[in-house]
Chain A
Amino acid sequence: MADVLLSGRPLAKRYQMGDVQVVALHDVDFDLRDRELAVLLGPSGSGKSTLLNLLGGLDRPSSGTIAYRGQDLSRATEPELTRYRRAHVGFVFQFYNLIPSLTARENVALVSEISERPMKPEEALDLVGLSERLDHFPSQLSGGQQQRIAIARAIVKRPEILLCDEPTGALDAETGRLVLEAIERVHRDLGTATAIVTHNAPIAQMADRTITLHDGRIASDVPNARRLSPKEIRW
Chain B
Amino acid sequence: MVKALDRKLVRDLLRMRGQAITIALVMGVGIAQLFAFVTMYQSLEASRDVYCAQSRFADLFDHLDRAPRAVLSRLAEIPGVAQVEGRVVQDAPLVIPGSRAPVLGHFVGLSDHPDRRLNRLQIVEGRDVAPGHGGEVVVSAFFADARKLHAGDFLTAVLGGHLVRLSIVGVGVSPEFLYVANPRTGFIDSENYGVLWMDGTAVATAFGLGGAFDDVAASFAAAAHPQDAVSAFDRLLAPWGGTGAVLRADQPSAKVLDLKIDQYRKMVKVVPAIFLGVAAFILNLVLSRLVATQRDQIATLKALGYDTAALARHYLLLAAAIGVLGAALGLGLGSVEARDAIRILGKYFNLPLLVYRFNWAAAGAGIAASVAAGLLGALAPVRRTVRLPAAEAMQPEAPESFAPTVIERLRIDRLFGVAGRMVLRDVERHPFRLTLSAVAVAFATAILLVGSTMVDSLDRALTVQFTQVEGEDLAVAFDRPRSAGALADLDHVPGVVRAEAQRVVPARLRSGWRERTLSIVGVPRNATLRRFRDVEGRRLAVPAGGLVLSRPLGKMLDVRPGDALDVRVLEGAQPRLRLPVASFVDDMTGLSAYADLDDLDHWLGGARAVSGALLAVDRSRFPDIQRRLMRLPAVAGFSRPDLDRQQFESQESNALRALGVMLAIFAAIIAVGLVFNNARIALAVRARDLATLRILGFSRGEVATVLLGEQALQLVLGVALGLPLGWAMGAAMLASIPPDLFRVPAWLSPGSLIEAALVVLLSGFACALYVRREADRLDLVAVLKARD
State whether B307 touches A101 (Cβ < 8 A): no
Within 8 A of B (CB), among A85-125: 85-87, 91, 93, 95, 97-99, 101-102, 106-107, 109-111, 113-115
Which one, A56, A101, A110, contacts B11 given CB within 8 A?
A: A101
Which one, A56, A59, A86, A102, contacts B4 given CB within 8 A?
A: A102
The residue on B at minimum CB distance from A18 is B401
State whether B307 touches A82 (Cβ < 8 A): yes
State whether A91 touches B303 (Cβ < 8 A): yes
Chain B residues contacting A83 (CB-CB under 8 Å) are 305
In the assembled complex, how far is the CB of residue A90 from the closest CB belonging to chain B, in whole angstroms?
9
A58 interface residue per 8 A CB criterion? yes
In the assembled complex, how far is the CB of residue A177 from the closest CB belonging to chain B, in whole angstroms?
24
Chain B residues contacting A113 (CB-CB under 8 Å) are 3-5
B410 interface residue per 8 A CB criterion? no
Chain A residues contacting B390 (CB-CB under 8 Å) are 58-59
A172 interface residue per 8 A CB criterion? no
| 0 or 1 for each of B160-182: is its CB under 8 Å from A? (1 = yes) | 00000000000000000000000
Chain B residues contacting A221 (CB-CB under 8 Å) are none
Which one, B296, B302, B392, B787, contacts A82 given CB within 8 A?
A: B302
Given contacts A95-B787, A113-B3, contact A101 B15 (CB under 8 A): yes
Q: How many residues of B contact A (CB 8 A)?
A: 26
State whether B12 touches A101 (Cβ < 8 A): yes
State whether B15 touches A99 (Cβ < 8 A): no
Chain B residues contacting A98 (CB-CB under 8 Å) are 300
A131 interface residue per 8 A CB criterion? no
A53 interface residue per 8 A CB criterion? yes
| 0 or 1 for each of B1-23: is its CB under 8 Å from A? (1 = yes) | 00111011001100100000000
A78 interface residue per 8 A CB criterion? yes
Chain B residues contacting A110 (CB-CB under 8 Å) are 4-5, 301, 304
State whether B391 touches A86 (Cβ < 8 A): no
Given contacts A78-B308, A86-B305, A110-B301, contact A59 B5 (CB under 8 A): no
In the assembled complex, how far is the CB of residue A13 from the closest CB belonging to chain B, in whole angstroms?
10
In the assembled complex, how far is the CB of residue B728 from the closest CB belonging to chain A, in whole angstroms?
46
A153 interface residue per 8 A CB criterion? yes
| 0 or 1 for each of A146-173: is its CB under 8 Å from B? (1 = yes) | 0000000100010000000000000000
State whether B299 touches A79 (Cβ < 8 A): no
Chain A residues contacting B787 (CB-CB under 8 Å) are 95
Which one, A97, A101, A109, A111, contacts B305 given CB within 8 A?
A: A111
Given contacts A53-B391, A99-B300, A101-B12, contact A107 B4 (CB under 8 A): yes
Chain A residues contacting B8 (CB-CB under 8 Å) are 99, 101-102, 106
Chain A residues contacting B11 (CB-CB under 8 Å) are 101-102
In the assembled complex, how far is the CB of residue A163 from the closest CB belonging to chain B, in whole angstroms?
9
State whether A111 touches B391 (Cβ < 8 A): no
Given contacts A58-B391, A106-B4, contact A99 B297 (CB under 8 A): yes
Chain B residues contacting A101 (CB-CB under 8 Å) are 7-8, 11-12, 15
Within 8 A of A (CB), among B303-323: 303-308
With A and B bound together, what is the CA distance between A80 and B100 in angstroms? 88
With A and B bound together, what is the CA distance between A92 and B783 in angstroms? 25
State whether A91 touches B4 (Cβ < 8 A): no
Chain A residues contacting B296 (CB-CB under 8 Å) are 95, 97
Chain A residues contacting B5 (CB-CB under 8 Å) are 110, 113
With A and B bound together, what is the CA distance between A82 and B303 in angstroms? 8
State whether B303 touches A58 (Cβ < 8 A): yes
In the assembled complex, how far is the CB of residue A141 from the closest CB belonging to chain B, in whole angstroms?
17
Q: How many residues of A contact B (CB 8 A)?
A: 29
State whether A85 touches B305 (Cβ < 8 A): yes
B206 interface residue per 8 A CB criterion? no
Chain B residues contacting A102 (CB-CB under 8 Å) are 4, 7-8, 11
The residue on B at minimum CB distance from A54 is B391
State whether A91 touches B304 (Cβ < 8 A): yes
Chain A residues contacting B394 (CB-CB under 8 Å) are 53, 58, 93
Chain A residues contacting B12 (CB-CB under 8 Å) are 101
State whether A85 touches B7 (Cβ < 8 A): no
State whether A85 touches B304 (Cβ < 8 A): yes
With A and B bound together, what is the CA distance between A83 and B7 in angstroms? 23
With A and B bound together, what is the CA distance between A97 and B296 in angstroms? 7
With A and B bound together, what is the CA distance between A83 and B392 in angstroms? 19
State whether A59 touches B389 (Cβ < 8 A): yes
| 0 or 1 for each of B376-391: is its CB under 8 Å from A? (1 = yes) | 0000000000000111
The residue on A at minimum CB distance from B390 is A58
Within 8 A of A (CB), among B279-303: 296-297, 299-303
State whether B305 touches A79 (Cβ < 8 A): no
In the assembled complex, how far is the CB of residue A10 from the closest CB belonging to chain B, in whole angstroms?
20
Chain A residues contacting B391 (CB-CB under 8 Å) are 53, 58-59
Given contacts A95-B787, A97-B299, contact A106 B7 (CB under 8 A): yes
The residue on A at minimum CB distance from B9 is A101
State whether B300 touches A93 (Cβ < 8 A): yes
In the assembled complex, how far is the CB of residue B369 from the closest CB belonging to chain A, in whole angstroms?
30
State whether A85 touches B303 (Cβ < 8 A): yes
State whether B4 touches A109 (Cβ < 8 A): yes
Chain B residues contacting A91 (CB-CB under 8 Å) are 300, 303-304
The residue on B at minimum CB distance from A52 is B391
State whether A87 touches B3 (Cβ < 8 A): no
In the assembled complex, how far is the CB of residue B372 from the closest CB belonging to chain A, in whole angstroms?
27
With A and B bound together, what is the CA distance between A87 and B307 in angstroms? 12
In the assembled complex, how far is the CB of residue A152 from the closest CB belonging to chain B, in whole angstroms?
12
Chain A residues contacting B300 (CB-CB under 8 Å) are 91, 93, 97-99
With A and B bound together, what is the CA distance between A53 and B305 in angstroms? 14
Given contacts A58-B391, A59-B389, A99-B8, contact A86 B304 (CB under 8 A): yes
The residue on B at minimum CB distance from A84 is B305
State whether B297 touches A114 (Cβ < 8 A): no
Which one, A87, A109, A114, contacts B306 given CB within 8 A?
A: A114
Chain A residues contacting B303 (CB-CB under 8 Å) are 56, 58, 85, 91, 93, 97
With A and B bound together, what is the CA distance between A199 and B35 in angstroms? 63
The residue on A at minimum CB distance from B12 is A101
The residue on A at minimum CB distance from B307 is A82
State whether A58 touches B3 (Cβ < 8 A): no
With A and B bound together, what is the CA distance between A210 and B305 in angstroms? 28
The residue on B at minimum CB distance from A100 is B297
| 0 or 1 for each of A175-207: is its CB under 8 Å from B? (1 = yes) | 000000000000000000000000000000000
The residue on B at minimum CB distance from A96 is B300
Chain A residues contacting B308 (CB-CB under 8 Å) are 78, 82
State whether A111 touches B7 (Cβ < 8 A): no
With A and B bound together, what is the CA distance between A58 and B395 in angstroms? 12
With A and B bound together, what is the CA distance between A110 and B306 in angstroms? 9
Chain A residues contacting B15 (CB-CB under 8 Å) are 101
State whether B389 touches A79 (Cβ < 8 A): no
Chain A residues contacting B302 (CB-CB under 8 Å) are 58, 82, 85
Chain B residues contacting A114 (CB-CB under 8 Å) are 304-306
Chain A residues contacting B4 (CB-CB under 8 Å) are 99, 102, 106-107, 109-110, 113
In the assembled complex, how far is the CB of residue A44 from the closest CB belonging to chain B, in whole angstroms?
15
State whether B7 touches A79 (Cβ < 8 A): no
State whether A87 touches B7 (Cβ < 8 A): no
Q: Which of A82, A87, A113 has the most CB of B within 10 A?
A: A82
State whether B307 touches A111 (Cβ < 8 A): no
In the assembled complex, how far is the CB of residue A70 from the closest CB belonging to chain B, in whole angstroms?
21
The residue on A at minimum CB distance from B389 is A59
With A and B bound together, what is the CA distance between A118 and B31 in angstroms? 46
Chain B residues contacting A58 (CB-CB under 8 Å) are 302-303, 389-391, 394
Chain B residues contacting A53 (CB-CB under 8 Å) are 391, 394
The residue on B at minimum CB distance from A109 is B4
With A and B bound together, what is the CA distance between A109 and B7 in angstroms? 11
Instruction: Please name 10 pairs of A and B residues whose Cβ atoms are closer than 8 Å in the assembled complex, sorted by A.
Output: A58-B389, A58-B391, A59-B390, A78-B307, A78-B389, A82-B308, A91-B303, A97-B296, A99-B4, A114-B305
Q: Which 7 A-B pairs have the closest CB atoms?
A: A86-B305, A101-B11, A59-B391, A97-B300, A58-B390, A58-B391, A110-B4
Excluding A53-B391, A58-B391, A101-B7, 11 further A-B contacts by CB distance (< 8 Å) are A58-B302, A82-B307, A95-B787, A101-B11, A101-B12, A102-B11, A109-B3, A109-B4, A110-B4, A113-B3, A114-B306
